[in-house]
Amino acid sequence: MTEARIVELQSQYDAFVGAGLKLDLTRGKPAAEQLDLSNELDGILNGFYILQDGTDVRNYGGIMGIPEARRLGGELIGTDSNHVMAAGNSSLTLMYQYVEHNLVNWHELGHETLKFLCPVPGYDRHFTVCEHFGIEMICVDMTETGPDMDQVQWLVQDDPAIVGIWCVPKYSNPTGYTFSRETVRRFAELPKTAGAGFQIMWDNAYAVHHLNDQHDELGDLLVLAEKAGTADQVAVFASTSKITIAGAGVAFMATMPDRLAAFERYLADQTIGFDKVNQLRHAQFLQDAAGIREHMEKHRELIKPKFDLALQKLATLADKDIATWTEPNGGYFISLDTKPGLASEVIALASAAGVKLTPAGATFPYGRDPQNRNIRIAPTYPSIEELNQAMDVFITCLELATLNA
């Protein structure tokens, strides 16, 4: 039975190899039709560059961002605009800069070794920021309700060298999980006895990126942390990269005003100000929370069929004990676990058949998935036809590698 199935799968696989496909399921990029949704940004200012307070957005200055954009960031993040900085085109850059800004503080507090907690699977570019600064990474298990908070609490109390944790709290990259109320509450109440200067890097990149009618709800960490007296441990990040234009949107950061002011002083040595013209364009285009919601509905119409298709293809494996995968309510990814030891083999097979997948291990610090089983699937960028083919190749490789193991 298995032998016959292997022969059948091998012949399907050979046909894919022969077809000379060139398909890509790697990075979570918006498709061109999604980018088209924001074409109005170009020219929206129509010659009006002066703000109500008299600021000319074409000129230098104002690192904290224009009030209109800070308000927009407040609506996106769900927080008071006094807590928000509107910055440049990338939240990843802001996170990198925020870590660098904290280095001085951590060293002044006497830390020699620096360590970060990394819920896994997670976002590879968070890990490369740590690698860049020589910050050691410690894996924490990601569950359907967020990081394993018993582990987090225990580690943070046990090891004073731990100075931070990466979190993608909503529709997480790559699992799509959203942290539960209880998890957010426990983050807010993480005791101050933790490594001095501890920072929760709360990367809310997918705050408004719903796929289903039923939206996940995320507790407000800043408000809860303020109540618990731990708000100086919280730094929230977001951007419009996957709302308007990837790489040409506006990034935001939110934290307590005194910490924001200190970060502003750090930034002042490297910039006179961010792109305020783009900030104003975004404020006019998206307006407020309702405008963002309306716009994201258009994205959903474009990408929901892609997620549905990818999940339908995976569902054909459902009763075969081959893999497990997430079915997210939002975000940009599906996270799939093969049987232990098989992820790199599946990825290599798919690559030889012309389907590029994110390298095995990429969702773990140092590119090392200890069980070699996690694969991140990003269905947004290819067309439906391309995705259809790519998923056929992928599930063939997955079953073939499993049966051959």
Window 207-236: contact mask with ligand PMP (x via CB under 6 A): ------------------------------
Considering only 251, 323, 375, 391, the residue that binds ligand PMP (CB under 6 A) is 251
**CA–CA distance from 167 to each of 110, 120, 170 (Å)?**
25, 10, 9
92: enclosing H helix or E strand: helix 91-108
Closest CB 387 distance from ligand PMP, rounded Å: 18
Site mask for ligand PMP (CB under 6 A), range 306-335, x = bound? ------------------------------
Q: Specify the residue, 339 or 376, whose C-beta has the smaller distance to ligand PMP.
A: 376
Give the interface segment with ligand PMP, choosing from 84-92, 108-116, 181-189, 224-232 (CB under 6 A).
84-92
Total residues in contact with ligand PMP, by rule CB under 6 A: 12
Nearer to ligand PMP, 62 or 249 (CB): 249
Q: Is 90 in the site for ligand PMP (CB under 6 A)?
A: yes
Contact residue for ligand PMP among 66, 72, 92, 336 (CB under 6 A) = 92
Q: Which amino acid is at 233?
A: Q
Per-residue DSSP letter, 31: P
Site for ligand PMP contains 123 (CB under 6 A): yes
Strand order in the sheet with 251-254: 84-86, 251-254, 234-239, 199-203, 162-167, 115-120, 136-143, 146-147
Return the number of the residue (92 or 292) whose C-beta is nearest ligand PMP: 92
328 and 334 in contact (C-beta within 8 Å)? yes
- Measured from the CB atom, the residue of 195 and 359 that comes closer to ligand PMP is 359
Instruction: Give the nearer residue to ligand PMP in terms of CB position, either 4 or 32.
Output: 32
* Single-letter amino acid code for the residue at 156: V
Name the minimum Å distance from CB 168 to ligand PMP.
4
Q: Which is nearer to ligand PMP, 173 or 278 (CB)?
A: 173
Please state the separation of Cα 176 from the chain's center in Å. 9
| Amino acid letter, residue 46 | N
278 near ligand PMP (CB under 6 A): no
Q: Which of residues 339-398 bind ligand PMP (CB under 6 A)?
A: none
Among 152, 165, 168, 201, binds ligand PMP (CB under 6 A): 168
Q: Which residue has the tokens 């539960």?
A: 180
Q: Which lies closer to ligand PMP via its Cβ, residue 168 or residue 347?
A: 168
Query: In terms of DSSP bridges, do strands 146-147 and 136-143 run parallel, antiparallel, or are they unpaired?
Result: antiparallel
| Given 91, 180, 183, 358, the residue binding ligand PMP (CB under 6 A) | 91
By CB under 6 A, residue 173 contacts ligand PMP: yes
C-beta of residue 54 within 8 angstroms of C-beta of residue 67: no
- Tokens linked to 79: 């927080």
Distance in angstroms (rounded) separating the CA atoms of residues 333 and 178? 13
The residue from 75, 124, 203, 369 that contacts ligand PMP (CB under 6 A) is 203
121 or 197, CB closer to ligand PMP? 121
Of residues 38 and 389, the one with the C-beta less far from ligand PMP: 38
In 3D space, the residue among 156, 116, 120 whose CA is nearest the CA of residue 141 turns out to be 120
Q: Return the ∠ at Cα 120 (arms to 263 and 248), rounded to 5°.
A: 45
The nearer residue to ligand PMP, 363 or 372, going by C-beta atoms, is 363
Helices and strands (H and E) in the chain: how many? 13, 13
Paired tokens of 70? 């800070």
- Give the shortest CB-254-to-ligand PMP separation in angstroms: 14
Residue with tokens 């961002």: 65
Token code pair at residue 247: 């790489």
Tell me how far apart the alpha carbons of residues 334 and 379 are, in angstroms, rounded to a whole number.
8
Please report, as residue ranges, which positions from 21 to 50 form the binding site for ligand PMP (by CB under 6 A): 28
Given a contact cutoff of 8 angstroms between Cβ atoms, the answer to whether 157 and 195 are in contact is no
Half-sphere exposure of 334 (CA within 13 A, CB side): 28
Beta strands 199-203; 162-167: pairing state: parallel
166 binds ligand PMP (CB under 6 A): no
Chain residues in the site for ligand PMP (CB under 6 A)? 28, 90-92, 123, 168, 173, 203, 205, 239, 241, 251
